[in-house]
Amino acid sequence: MSYELTYFALPALAESSRLAFTLGGIAFKDNVVDGEAWGKLKGGPEHPLTSGGLPWLCVDGGKKYGQSAAVARYVGKIAKYEGKALYPEDPLAALEVDGAMDAVKDMFDSVGKTFAIQDAAEKIAARKKLLEEGQPVHTWLTRFSKM
């Protein structure tokens, strides 16, 4: 099978899929798009679950699949490391992985709100605030450190 992952040049929503492909030794085309290329792709034919956004995973040059966590889970199921799938087959272990993935998304959503801030100093201040004790990113990082 051939795989093409389309996303921006950011270590964000597609990064777990990029890492899983790489760790699993699965060849894939990392189709990195900039704003201009995204403008041309946007509104083109797509699978309804892509939500009109990125990342997309195109399999065998055909159908595009969306939703970053779903794509990451799929890649985790097909990628093997030391003979084992990256995504667990055991339902309870999969529940733990899914919970961690959802928690990372919650943390990312907190940071994502700062992307709309235009003023650089204001953006930096908002992101630093997220790292303060009791704030979302600090809280999630503290929880992750206990896993």
Q: How many domains does the chain have?
A: 2
| 15 and 75 co-located in one domain | yes
The answer on 26 and 96 residing in a single domain is no
In whole angstroms, give the CA distance from residue 87 to residue 72: 9
* Whole-structure pTM value: 0.79
Separation of CA 75 from chain center: 12
Q: Is 97 exposed, middle or buried (0-12, 13-18, 19+ CB in 10 A)?
A: middle
Note whether 53 and 12 are same-domain residues.
yes
Clarify whether residues 9 and 66 are in a common domain: yes
Same domain, 96 and 73: no
Q: How many CB atoms lie within 10 A of CB 90?
A: 9
**Token reading at 74:** 């799929």
Q: Are residues 131 and 108 in the same domain?
A: yes
- Given 85, 117, 132, the domain boundary residue is 85
Alpha carbon distance 143, 62 (integer Å): 40
Do 126 and 77 lie in a common domain? no
Looking up residue 60, the CATH number of its domain turns out to be: 3.40.30.10
> Reduced to 3 states, what is the DSSP secondary structure of residue 23?
helix
Q: How confident is the model at residue 117 (pLDDT cuts 50, 70, 90)?
A: very high
User: pLDDT higher for 11 or 49?
Assistant: 11
Q: Is the pLDDT of residue 119 over 70?
A: yes
- In this structure, the answer to whether residues 79 and 8 fall within a common structural domain is yes
CA end-to-end span of the chain = 35
| Average confidence (pLDDT) over 106-135 | 92
Q: What is the pLDDT of residues 39-81, one digit of tens each?
A: 777 766 555 555 677 898 999 988 889 889 999 999 999 999 9
DSSP for 53-102 reads -S-EEEETTS-EE--HHHHHHHHHHH-EETTEESS-SSHHHHHHHHHHHH
- Residue 62 and residue 77 in one domain: yes
- Which range of residues forms the domain containing residue 121? 91-145
**DSSP 8-state symbol, 29:** E
Average pLDDT value over all residues in the chain: 89
pLDDT of residue 105 exceeding 90, the answer is no
